[in-house]
Structure 1
Amino acid sequence: MEETISLKEIFEVLKKRLLLIVLLIVGAAGISAVISFFILTPTYQSSTQFIVNQDTSESESVDLNQIRSNVEIINTYNDIITSNRILDQVVEEMNLTISAGALGGKISLNTSQNSQVVTLTATDYDPAVAADIANTTVEIFQEELPGLMNVNNVNVLSEAVVPANPQPVNPKPMLNIAIAIVIGAMVGVGLAFLFEYLDNTIKTEQDVEDKLELPILGVVSHIEEKDMMSLGQPVSINQKAERGSVSGQKKKTV
């Protein structure tokens, strides 16, 4: 027989485990905040732009085919910029303590479709170092390009600068906390239904009929220990029964 669950039962389960869900949400948000604000090191980005154009030393007129060719060759330039030949010189020029491969992981290149402008973005824990990496990489690339491809068609459009109040790009505490809250809520709800599914204790008369398939013969009032003492004196059986009938005690199923 297929078991179904109603919305009322769902709300009852969530209400029953509300404290667990709230604690998980608060705990996840707190852990995320501590990690984001006090453990993770902020990273900064700085960008420079250069433009790939026709070689003015050979032609003074703008040729559309030449522009299209420049756009296509940008991919080759991107590979050259991130090559060890360029990055090794950047490491040596800036006296960096990282390898060329590690430096390549700090650099990203981006260009819009059909655009001759290339944006080079450098990432580092120090905003000033990020700007220096971006500018030095493009500068060395410009110097090496004529010897590599016998062309000189790269000009710097804008250099990387350090703003007065640099803002880190990572971590993003508010985003991390929001994600942690969602994850905490999902885990809390999941655990609430898991605990409810694993709970096979009998609590009501209906549970007896559903799980044990036995008829209900009757119920006996449950007398708590505090009801058996009155001012430190034992209570008679008649008094116990009277207290049990008046105070609306819990019931035990038999």
Structure 2
Amino acid sequence: MEETISLRELFDTLKKRMTLILVITILAAAISGAVSYFVIKPIYKSSTQILVSQAAAGELASLAGLSFDADAKYIETYNVIMKSPYILDQVIEELKLDTTPEALNGSVSVAQEGQSQVVTISVQNEDPAEAVIIANEIAKVFQREISSLMRIDNIHILSPAELPEIPVPVKPQPVLNIAIALVVGLMAGVGLAFLLEYMNNTIKTEQDVEKLLELPVLGIITTINDDKTGSPKQRKQKKVRGETVGTQG
């Protein structure tokens, strides 16, 4: 016989395990908040923008006989060069940074702004001031070295990175982390509640007997409390009073 679970049984299970679900949900949110605020170090981001001169790039495109999208292809090449060890080694040496080109590469991102000739160089660092310095230095070194690498001079620093008065970290995001932890904790609590209910095979009511034996219950025997009602102290007091009355008679 196939067992079916009604919505009422689902709601009863959730109601019975509501305390467990709430504890797990609140605990997950509290742990996420504590880790986000006190364990994970904040990461700051700083960006500088450079402009690839369209005239210079267009001149190269005409000399090479390339198509109209040659500018974008050159910008993609620039993006790779900016994150190359050739550029990053010089940045590390000039700023005397205690890092490697590979580690610095992981904190640098380069992106073209839409279909324009503007390229944004972004640097993430635990120190907001150092992020500003590294971003500006990468732009300067690239502007200086690209002329010797590709025999062109079409790079202009459009907007250097600046340190804001109140730096705001980009990572972690405590509110988002707590919200995610609430959802995950709620799902874990509900899942654990149904798991415990599924593993609970004790028989407590006549409905449990019907489910187990697949037979209707014809009758039940109630518990009969004789003279054993009340606490042991109360029963002892009743016995003493009865013996006293018998003696006086």
Q: State if a TM-score over 0.5 links the two structures.
A: yes
Matches within 5 A, 1:207-222: 207-213=208-214, 215-221=217-223
Instruction: Give the SS at the match of 1:233.
Output: helix
Per-residue deviation at 1:55?
A: 5.1
Other structure's SS at 1:3 match:
coil
Higher helix share: 2
Give how far 1:53 is off: 1.3
For residue 86 of structure 1, give the secondary structure of its aligned residue in structure 2: helix
Asked if structure 1 preserves the Cα contact closer than 8 Å seen for 2:229 and 2:235, the reply is no
Q: Which moved more, 1:212-221 or 1:87-96?
A: 212-221
Displacement of 1:178: 0.5
Q: Indicate the residue corresponding to 2:188 in structure 1.
A: 187
TM-score normalized with structure 1 length:
0.84
Deviation at 1:208, TM superposition (A): 1.6
Cα shift at 1:7: 1.3
Whether contact under 8 Å (2:14, 2:193) holds in the other structure is yes
CA contact (8 A) 2:125 2:131 kept: yes
Q: Give unmatched runs, 5+ long, in structure 1.
A: 60-64, 237-254
* Residue in structure 1 matched with residue 236 of structure 2 by the alignment: 233
TM (norm. structure 2) is 0.86
Equivalent runs, 1:1-254 vs 2, <5 Å? 1-54=1-54, 68-213=69-214, 215-221=217-223, 223=225, 227-229=230-232, 231=234, 233=236
For the 8 Å contact 1:20–1:188, the answer to whether it is kept is yes
Match of 1:157, SS state, is strand
Amino acid across the alignment from 1:34: A
Unpaired runs of at least 5, structure 2: 60-65, 240-249
- 1-structure distance, mates of 2:95, 2:26: 45
**2-structure distance, mates of 1:232, 1:130:** 81
Give the whole-Å Cα distance in 2 for the aligned partners of 1:3 and 1:213.
10
SS across alignment from 1:221: coil
Partner of 1:241: none
Identity among equivalent pairs (%): 46
RMSD: 2.6
Question: Alignment length, in residue pairs?
Answer: 233
Per-residue Cα deviation, 1:188-220 (whole angstroms, up to 9, x for no partner): 000000000000000111222321356545313
